[in-house]
Amino acid sequence: MSSEKQQQRRERIDRGIKVRTGGIYALMSWRELVYLISPRLLLIAGLLLLPLVMPGMYWKRVISIVCIYALLALAFDFLAHFVGLVSLGGAFFVGVGGYLSALLNTKMGLSPLVCVPGAALMGGVICTLMLMPCLPLRGVYFAIVTLMYPLFLARVIEALDILGGTDGIMGIDSFPNPWLEQYFVISVVLVFLFVLRRLVNTDLGLVLRAVKDNDQAVKASAMNITHYKAMAVFIASSIGCLAGACLVHIYMWAGISTFALDFSVLPIAATVIGGSGTLVGPLIGCLILVPVSELLRDFGTLRIVFYSLILLAFIVFRSEGLMIYGQRKYHQLERWKAI
C-alpha cells in the first residue's frame, strides 16, 4: 500500500438520520432533503421520458408491456412480502381483468378509459371471492392453488367454447392514441407504486405485516385475519386485473393466452432481480427483464435458458436484489479521509 493510502482511512457517510420509520427523517439542511428526494424524482422523470426517447413504435409498445408486468410484480411483492401470501395467480388476475374489459367494451360499447377501471374493480371482487376459500392456506399451498386457477379457467373456456373459445374476443377498441396508452399505463404504475408504499407504512400495513409474521398473535388480539387477508387480496387482484384490462386494449384482442403462465413467472423473476419487499425493486426488475426478453425473441425457447442464467446469477451473487443493494450504497457512501 502506498504511503498516501497509509495516511488515510475509510469514512462512511450516512445520509439522512432515520428517526422513527423509513419515511421520517431528521434533516440537517436542504442538501440532505435533495439527497433523499432525488431518487424518487429520478424514477418519475425517467419513466415519463421513456416514451419520448424510445426509437420506433415497437419499443414504445415494449414500454407499455413493461408497465403491465410491473403492475403484476407490484401485486406479487405486496402480497408475498407484506401479507405472507405467495401468489402465482398473476395469470389468473390478467385473464379475469382482460375478459371483463373486453366484454364491457364489445357488449356494452363502453370506452376503454371506462372499461379498464371498471374491469379492475369487478375483477378484484371476483378474484377475491374465488380465492376466499384458500385464504387459510399459507406458503406453498396457497401458491399451488393460485397457480391452478388460470389453468382451470383456460381449459373451461376451451372445453365449453365460451367467451369466443380458442378464437377469443376480437374487435376490442384500442386506446384513443398511442401517447395516451403509454402515459396512462406509466401513470397507473407510478400511482400504485407510491400508494402501496404509503399503505404499508400505515396502521393497516402494520397489521398486514403482523399477519405475515404471526397470524395467530393477530387472531389472539381479537382481529379477523381473514378480513385483512381478503382486503390485501382485493388490492393485489385489482391491480392485476387492471394490468389485464390494459393489455387487451393494447392488443385489441382477449383470448386464452391471457391466462399464460408467463404472467405468473416473469413478475416473480423481476421481483427477485429488483429486490423483494421494496415495491420499487420489481419495477426495476421488469425494466431489465422485459426488454431482454424482446431482444432474445429470435432465440425462441432458448430464451428460457438466458432467463435461468440471469436469475441464477442474481441469486448467487446478488441475492438481496438490486434495489436493496443500491439503497445501502446510496445511504452509506464511503470516502477516503486523511488521518
At residue 18, the pLDDT reads 47
Q: Is residue 39 part of a domain?
A: no
* 321, 313 Cβ separation under 8 angstroms: no
* Separation CA 147–CA 91 (nearest Å): 8
Q: How many domains does the chain have?
A: 1
User: Between vectors from CA 192 to CA 190 and to CA 198, what angle results, nearest 5°?
Assistant: 105
Q: Is residue 206 part of a domain?
A: yes
Q: Is residue 34 part of a domain?
A: no
pLDDT digits (tens, 9 = 90+) for 49-97: 988 888 888 888 899 999 999 999 999 999 999 998 988 889 999 999 9
Which amino acid is present at 137? L
Tell me the pLDDT band of 12, cut-offs 50, 70 and 90: low
Q: Is residue 318 part of a domain?
A: yes
CB atoms under 10 Å from CB of 107, counted, come to 9
Q: Is residue 14 part of a domain?
A: no
Residue numbers of the domain that contains 276: 47-338
Q: What pTM does this model have? A: 0.87
Low-confidence winner among 74-83, 190-199, 294-303 (lowest mean pLDDT):
294-303
Q: Is residue 234 part of a domain?
A: yes
Residue 67 grid cell: 408497465
Tell me the pLDDT band of 312, cut-offs 50, 70 and 90: confident
The yes-or-no verdict on residue 19 having pLDDT over 50 is: no
**Which residue carries 470516502 as its cell?**
335
CATH number at residue 173: 1.10.3470
At residue 3, the pLDDT reads 47
Q: Is residue 40 part of a domain?
A: no
pLDDT digits (tens, 9 = 90+) for 114-163: 999 999 999 999 999 999 999 988 878 899 999 999 999 999 998 898 88
Q: Is residue 6 part of a domain?
A: no
H helices present in the chain, as ranges = 3-6, 30-53, 56-82, 90-108, 112-131, 139-160, 178-199, 203-220, 225-251, 262-274, 280-295, 303-317, 322-331
Q: How many CA atoms lie within 13 A of 46 on its CB side?
A: 9
- β-sheet bridge partners, residue 18: 25
3-class state of residue 135 by DSSP = coil
Low-confidence winner among 15-19, 30-34, 43-47, 223-227 (lowest mean pLDDT):
15-19
* 92, 238 Cβ separation under 8 angstroms: no
